[in-house]
Chain A
């Protein structure tokens, strides 16, 4: 059952890492990737990019501790976000740039394959 599967796929792990929510948008000559990183300061974000992946590791300003239900585990705490995503097409990692505003990390990645304008004769 599709809905059941979605709900059972947690976005947190027992290793102290949370998976951030993210969005990938194809914008002509660039791929724009945004991550939602609440409780994170700019200096605590590490971004690693290859031609086809982006990895974000971000330390939270305070460890978040939630009391969770369950027989084995009564509470869980998180110190950081961590997520690697595969990009839809190759990019130039050296020309990527990023900004963090209001908890949203924006990474702009220029594509390797760019559009070429063809004039009609």
Chain B
């Protein structure tokens, strides 16, 4: 890897495998956020559907960490795709440091434009709920960045987040996509703010399936293994919670000003 094409936005590089091909792909992003909803959902999709790794993201702003899976050294920010190049999944196993948010989202939005993604781009994230423990099946709310995205959300009968704040990487992702006239949506599943939440990830996957019809996947195994996933995700959750506190993530539970 590393000899393929590269998109560079300041200090973030998207490095693609040689021969990576895309056919107007749907993009699903699963980066560490509240409840690790995006990371857990994206990892489950990639593993269950046996997607292949087609690239990774590098930056001096990322933590100096590599991960090891099955004895192989891997970059923690990775890009996967299905066999036909019709679905692309971006996921990370380390928290996005606040300093990396702007260059990372810029690089990704440029790359989405370059590979001519099918719109809308889908981000999976958590919506922190104080009473999550009392919620049996988390609901999913949605935010779109333009008229097309909003129409798509209404067509799919998703509950819209009407008022509130969205903070962190996905907030800037929606904005950077808007700048490039790329429709993008965020799916926000009700979740524990600081505990890994496989139940919320399962709800999010059910909503993603409304957009990506080729996603032939059920969430039974995810729910069955929820406790084990929670155990394994503890360290990443801890890092993410620390990083989130620097990104005004607490604002997501605040009310916005009444008059606009």
Contact = CB atoms under 8 A, between A and B. Distances in A.
Interface stretch (B118-126, B182-190, B230-238): B230-238
A106 B132 CA distance: 12
Interface string A92-121: 000000000111101000000000000000
A102 B133 contact: yes
Contact of A38 (B71, B193, B230): B230
B227 A103 contact: yes
Interface string B43-63: 000000000000000000001
B232 to A, nearest CB: 8
Interface size class of A (residues with CB under 8 A): 20 to 34
A83 B7 CA distance: 45
A80 B82 CA distance: 39
Contacts of A18: 231, 234
Contacts of A7: 63, 65, 94, 235, 239
A64 B68 contact: no
A6 B95 CA distance: 11
A36 interface: yes
B242 A6 contact: yes
A50 to B, nearest CB: 24
Interface in A31-52: 36, 38-39
Contacts of A23: 193-194
Contacts of B68: 69
A38 B227 contact: yes
A10 B235 contact: yes
A104 B192 CA distance: 10
Contacts of A10: 235
Given A6-B242, A7-B63, A38 B231 contact: yes
A113 B253 CA distance: 28
A64 B227 CA distance: 11
A39 B231 contact: yes
B64 A4 contact: yes
Interface in A14-68: 18, 20-21, 23, 36, 38-39, 64, 66
B97 interface: yes
A94 B64 CA distance: 47
Contacts of B65: 7
B237 A21 contact: yes
Interface of B: 63-65, 68, 71, 94, 97, 133-134, 192-196, 226-228, 230-232, 234-235, 237-239, 242-243
Q: Which 8 pairs from chain A and chain B are nearest by CB?
A: A38-B227, A38-B230, A36-B195, A3-B63, A104-B133, A69-B68, A39-B227, A23-B194
